[in-house]
């Protein structure tokens, strides 16, 4: 086990009827609150009214930034950072999914930066400070409610870049599974694929086993495999929504890493696809992940994939590792494309070879991703071909 730092400073209010704590929690950070949200789902569900009522009850001054897009744009970050500076905002309240929360993180950092906030995504400027962030999560997927990262899209440069800093970790997150009852079957499936990918990016590793964390990750995957279809069939099933919500946070809050050296592979690749085609992140991951596993499968990686197959999908332990590994990948594909009903190929999304070379080069930043298998541009292009 390598040395590591474990620090998850987000205070979580989990479950129903916790919103009464929102006003006092916001007030800890100041009086002037900027409420950020997406395209209107929180108004349709009534959550907006409940949140605003709590803010008013606490006597806080409310400002709003609506309209944050899925795959949030740098234009919204710029607008929000400006607003924070102009109105001397004390605390940010993000109500929504990962896009709203990610955008809010860069707004919070942008409030302390004099230049273009896009510099904070590209790394041209260092993230140093961030306004305190409180979140009310409405979609179980990204884990942004309990991590330090965010991903921003620049349509002009056709880039989608992830960056992060511990100062961006939300101070408080309200995780009420009932706020996800209205998430569509499609977004539920994409969210499940995202949670699985966060887990598999870490799990697919050839460093010596960390049994505690390997078992945890296998159970996390089993939990998502069990409950995502239930949530699709019965959107108001509390147990299903609650399990997905807590899985979302724990897949990416740092716990599962346990000092493993890791280089995520499917995520940088998917971000290039959604930068060009603006597809839903989880859908891109569902299409890429089984192909990436298949590409990575060799004598060195087979034992790990075979363990995954056995412990997650109950594949026969007597099978040869490479046979078991293939069967595990087949069952994962069946979960994404048959059980959850996601589209199974780039072709089905209208994506062809046009940008493969460009996307592959950018995904590995002109070099190599040193993940489960080393991936250079040619390797990523091969994986893209497998996705057609
Ligand atoms: O915009 P509104 O109207 O709110 O509608 C959203 C949006 O259309 C809707 N939605 C959210 N909650 C709902 C709901 N509809 C009905 N009822 C509800 N309760 O769902 C749509 C998608 O929302 P979005 O926030 O875009 O989804 P998600 O949470 O999957 O976030 C995706 C973004 O997060 C990034 C992705 O790249 C993508 O840009 N990621 C962030 C990460 C992080 N911070 O650590 C890691 C991830 O790997 C990921 O890259
Ligand atoms: Zn993700």
Whether the predicted pLDDT of 209 surpasses 80: no
Q: CA–CA separation, 143 vs 139, rounded Å?
A: 10
Residue 385, token pair as written in the block:
């071909």
CB 357 within 8 A of CB 377: yes
Coil, helix or strand at residue 33 = strand
Question: Confidence class of residue 208 from pLDDT cuts 50, 70 and 90?
Answer: confident
Tally Cβ neighbours within 10 Å of residue 20. Answer: 10
Domains within the chain, CATH numbers bracketed: 11-179 (3.40.50.1970), 184-387 (1.20.1090.10)
With a 6 Å cutoff on the Cβ, whether 268 touches ligand 1 is: no
Distance 256 CA to ligand 2 centre (A): 15
Average pLDDT, the chain: 97
Residues 272-304 pLDDT 10s: 999 999 999 999 999 999 999 999 999 999 999
Sorting pLDDT into bands at 50, 70 and 90, what band is 93? very high
Asked whether the predicted pLDDT for residue 261 surpasses 90, the reply is no
* Residue 138 Cβ < 6 Å to ligand 1: yes
Q: Is 241 in the pocket of ligand 1 (CB under 6 A)?
A: no
CB 375 within 8 A of CB 369: yes
> How far does residue 50's CA lie from ligand 1's centre (Å)?
21
Q: With a 6 A CB cut-off, is 286 part of the ligand 1 pocket?
A: no
Neighbours of ion ligand 2 (CB under 5 A): 194
Q: What is the pLDDT of residues 154-177, one digit of tens each?
A: 999 999 999 999 999 999 999 999
Report the separation in Å between the CA atom of 367 and the middle of ligand 1, taken as the mean of its atom positions: 30
Contact by Cβ (8 Å): 309, 331: yes
């Amino acid at each position: 086990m390598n040395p590591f730092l474990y620090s998850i400073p987000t205070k979580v209010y989990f479950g129903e009827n916790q919103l009464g704590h929102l006003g006092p929690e916001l007030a800890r950070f100041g009086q002037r609150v900027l409420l950020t949200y997406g395209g209107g789902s929180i108004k349709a569900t009534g959550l907006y009214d409940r949140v605003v009522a709590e803010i008013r009850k606490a006597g806080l001054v409310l400002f709003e930034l609506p309209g944050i897009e899925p795959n949030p744009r740098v234009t919204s970050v710029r607008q929000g950072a400006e607003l924070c500076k102009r109105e001397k905002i004390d605390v940010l309240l993000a109500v929504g999914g990962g896009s709203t929360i990610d955008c809010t993180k860069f707004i919070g950092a942008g409030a302390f930066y004099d230049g273009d906030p896009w510099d904070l995504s590209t790394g041209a400027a260092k993230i140093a400070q961030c306004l305190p962030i409180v979140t009310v999560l409405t979609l179980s997927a990204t884990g942004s409610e309990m991590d330090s990262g965010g991903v921003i899209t620049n349509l002009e440069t056709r880039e989608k870049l992830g960056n992060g800093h511990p100062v961006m970790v939300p101070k408080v997150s309200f995780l009420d599974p009932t706020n996800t009852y209205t998430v569509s079957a499609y977004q539920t499936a994409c969210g499940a694929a995202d949670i699985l990918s966060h887990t598999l990016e870490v799990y697919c590793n050839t460093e010596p086993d960390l049994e505690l964390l390997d078992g945890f990750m296998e159970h996390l995957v089993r939990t998502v495999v069990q409950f995502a279809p239930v949530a699709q069939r019965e959107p108001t099933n509390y147990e299903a929504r609650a399990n997905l919500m807590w899985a979302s946070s724990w897949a990416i809050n740092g716990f599962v890493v346990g000092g493993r050296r890791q280089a995520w592979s499917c995520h940088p690749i998917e971000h290039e696809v959604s930068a060009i085609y603006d597809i839903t992140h989880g859908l891109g991951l569902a299409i890429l992940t089984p192909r990436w596993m298949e590409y990575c499968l060799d004598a060195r990686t087979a034992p790990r994939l075979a363990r995954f197959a056995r412990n997650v999908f109950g594949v026969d332990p007597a099978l040869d590792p490479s046979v078991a590994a293939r069967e595990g990948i087949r069952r994962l594909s069946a979960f994404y494309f048959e059980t959850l009903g996601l589209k199974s190929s780039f072709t089905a999304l209208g994506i062809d070879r046009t940008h493969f070379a460009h996307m592959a080069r950018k995904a590995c930043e002109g070099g190599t991703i040193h993940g489960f298998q080393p991936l250079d541009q040619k390797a990523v292009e091969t994986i893209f071909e497998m996705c057609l």
